[in-house]
Structure 1
Amino acid sequence: MTKPLIIHIITRLEPGGSSRNVIDSCAAQAAAYDVVLISGPHKGSAELLKLLPPEVNYIEAGNLQREIRPLRDLRALLELRREIAALRPAIVHTHTSKAGALGRLAAALANRRAAKPAVIIHTPHGHLLYGYYGPLKTWLFRLAEVFLSKFTDHFVALTPGEMRESAAAGIGKSGQWKVVHSGVDFRPPAVPARKADLGIAADEVTVGTVARLEPVKGVEYLIRAVALLDARLPALRLKLLIIGGGELETKLRDLAGRLGIRDRVIFTGFRSDAAALMAALDIYVQPSLNEAMGRAPLEAQAQGLPVVVSRVCGLPDIIREEETGLAVAPGDAGALASALERLILSPKLRARLGAAAKAWAAAPDGTGFPRFGAESMNAQLLALYAAVLSGTPPATARR
């Protein structure tokens, strides 16, 4: 008996949560479905593609790219339409903004001539409603997503916060949304880092973050918060570990220097062993201005670290406030400094929140698997596919 075909489309395969999420989903679905993965070219894709089982077919769409270039985008749209029409899938599941736009339009065009139209599912992996662009560009993106929702049968949000904010902006109807957390690998690092490995003294309280160094990640406010702590508590032995690279690295290094805390801040650049480096931390911080879920703060909690997150989109959904971590207003260095001061000055509070965080990250959900793990994500996606292909409405979205 021929298995139904699922096509996953993502803009590009690069280090990060959305790409790993898609790779894990394809691998888990290969037993029940024929699976095809389509993405645009990217220099980092080869390593991720090694994780796919041979049963998953990969197609590189040469014109699919993140940047907006009308002629190439039209070529990508036509290329995707041809592939979808030829493959005749049961489901087209798109991921991220650009692939979500072109992939859904391509599927809708292919469906016009299909004997049996494909079900179109979209996982945004976050929204662009704030934190990324100015008012005009943000309005245009929202308008585009509202338009594209007319060609979407179902949406998958990573957190209740992402779902609520997207539906409130007119992107789909609440009944079209289902929450499925992005699966996180909670296996402990094989070789956890020690403070000494990073040139940090054993008695230095170490605060850290894992992030691409770009504006939406809010690392500037973490540096400013550490500067405020340095002024308030000059005798405090404190280090800030910034794990990740990106366009703002030089500016952030300069900012640390201007604020007089250059010697307190360590920039590691991009590290593939970021989870191992977290073992050297005492407190984890996610100061993002927009974040649909955040894999790194969950990995930190799984390692028994208390976390501080911005109160944006899905970040409050992945902690238990005042039990596993603290939440503060986004872009507010003063509020972040105050939250960090509470944790730094109270080892008992850090220990209590850290122990609760480890239990929270590992706790099972209705699938019987850890609520934020890959097994739960895959079980829920398989249940969603089975429901939509049988004509049964998916289970009510969690709020």
Structure 2
Amino acid sequence: MPDRPLIIHIITRLEPGGSSRNTIDSCAAQAADYDVALLAGPHPDSAQLLKLLPPTVNYIEIKDLRREISSAHDFKALREIRAVIKRLNPAIVHTHTSKAGALGRLAASMANLGASRPAVIIHTPHGHLLYGYYGPFKTFTFRLAERFLAKFTDRLIALTKGELQESCAAGIGRPKQWTVIHSGVDFKPPAVPAHKRDLDIPADALAVGTVARLETVKGVEYLVRAAALLAKSVPAIKLKFVIIGGGELEGPLRALAAELGVADRVIFTGFRRDATALAAALDIYAQPSLNEAMGRAPLEAQALGLPVVVSRVCGLPDIIKEGSTGFSVKPADAQALAAGLEKLILSPDLRARMGAAAKVWALEKDATGFPRFGPESMNIQLKKFYNELIRGQAEGTTFHG
């Protein structure tokens, strides 16, 4: 194995969110053992995230790499990525997210043609698009595309067992191509945790909340509807619902809260960089997503000692201990969400027990000696995974499924 193998990471764009932070953390940690290059498309938040990288990481902006489908931009991006891969001659090309995963894997496969040492191609979807995002036709097209692209991929990484199982059930890759490596979550406690008064919540009120981008797949509509149901089912309890995050649906969600008569109970904070600190002011955390590969925010909430109620979708059931740290409920169902929340609202003892168990669970260590959901565990597992593949590459092992 070369002393300093080169790893190329490719992501569509660097923006606030789990996949970008996960990729940045991986690059930063891997720079100690590998030469690392990071390719990404342009985004206004790139500069802020790039500050987290050591200077030894070679950042290359692919100006035509965009999230939106565009034959002109996509073809240019494909050619540029292929040229970079051929020039740098990496041991591994690791792609992240759908668009970069498609163009990056095709470009790497093209660059591998005739190469004396073909690069190992790894893809981490950071969640699938099999439901919750698009209509039937677009979802079907995505599934076909991912099945096709899996043929050009040596290994696929799922963030949870749930994501792996659903991807395999959809015919994306073969089981032997997949491995599970949790996305690393930084559990460092907020320097200045928020209190209820910081959100204008009375000290005697119960605060139920979520941290999410305000888009359809996050299911925040169902939390607003659950707020209306709970206002009727437990009228004697003073409840406040806190929605931490911004996005295109903030206006419609505010209108829905007003329509349902709970505008005075629902607090919208807008986008906040101190979202984890704000979550510390909550009593109960809710994650009503329609699709979620893992869910960093509910893990951060559990590490803060909050009981959680999550949708029973993809990887969310994998990040809680059912009945011990929280509950999973039927997705896209305000009544089911309200029922799960009501159990915790009505029982201070249950909230306390589940909150304490949640903190232990989230921070529990695995075989690496670090928290199983933490960045240290993720990076140790990735290093072992990479080294096994690089050794196999040197021995002439064929990986493609």
Q: Which residue of structure 1 lines up, in the alignment, with residue 337 of structure 2?
A: 336
Q: Counterpart of 2:399?
A: none
The CA deviation at 1:167 is: 1.0
> What are the residue-to-residue correspondences of 1:11-160 with 2, within 5 Å?
11-160=12-161
Cα distance between partner residues in 2 of 1:187 and 1:299: 9
Measured in 1, the distance between the counterparts of 2:224 and 2:160 equals 27
Q: Aligned residues: percent identity?
A: 71
Q: Deviations over 1:39-86 (max 9, x none)?
A: 000000111000000111100000001001111101100010000011
**3-state DSSP of counterpart to 2:54:** coil
Instruction: For 1:165-244, list aligned pairs within 5 A.
Output: 165-244=166-245
Residue 234 of structure 1 deviates from its aligned partner by 2.1
Paired residue secondary structure (1:280): coil
Q: Which secondary structure does the structure 2 equivalent of 1:120 belong to?
A: strand
Q: Distance in 2 between matches of 1:390 and 1:261?
A: 59
The alignment's TM-score, normalised by the length of structure 1, stands at 0.97
Rounded Cα–Cα distance in structure 2 between residues aligned with 1:214 and 1:29? 33
- Partner deviation per Cα, 1:155-198 (whole Å, 9 max, x = no partner): 01000000110011111111111100000010100000000011
| 1:221-252 superposed Cα distances (whole Å, 9 cap, x missing partner) | 01001100111222220000000000100000
Matches within 5 A, 1:314-393: 314-391=315-392
Partner letter of residue 325 of structure 2?
T
Q: Distance in 2 between matches of 1:177 and 1:257?
A: 46
SS of 1:113 mapped into structure 2: coil
CA distance in 1, matches of 2:149, 2:67: 17
**Cα separation, 2, equivalents of 1:2 and 1:286:** 44
Shift of 1:115: 1.5
- Is 1:280 equivalent to 2:281 in the alignment? yes
Residue in 1 aligned with 2:308? Answer: 307
Q: Deviations over 1:273-307 (max 9, x none)?
A: 00000110000000000000000000000000000
CA offsets 1:360-386 (integer angstroms, 9 cap, x no match): 011111111100000000000001001
**SS at the partner of 2:116?**
coil
Residue 2 of structure 1 and its aligned partner are, at CA, apart by 4.9
Q: In the alignment, residue 382 of structure 1 is paired with which amino acid?
A: K
> Aligned Cα RMSD in Å?
1.0
What TM-score does the superposition give when structure 2 sets the normalisation length?
Answer: 0.97
Counterpart residue identity of residue 44, structure 1: D
Residue type at the aligned position of 2:124: T
- Which one-letter code corresponds to 2:90 in the other structure? P
Moved more, 31-40 or 228-237: 228-237
Match of 1:296 in 2: 297
Per mean C-alpha deviation after superposition, the further-off stretch among 228-237 and 238-247 is 228-237
CA distance in 2, matches of 1:168, 1:175: 13
Q: Which residue of 2 aligns with 1:266?
A: 267
What SS is found at the alignment partner of 1:186? coil
State the alpha-carbon separation in 2 of the partners of residues 308 and 62 from structure 1.
41
Offset at 1:31? Answer: 1.2
For residue 118 of structure 2, give the secondary structure of its aligned residue in structure 1: coil
Shift of 1:3: 1.1
* Structure 1: gaps (5+ residues): 394-399
Helix, strand or coil at the partner of 1:263: coil
Amino acid at match of 1:279: A
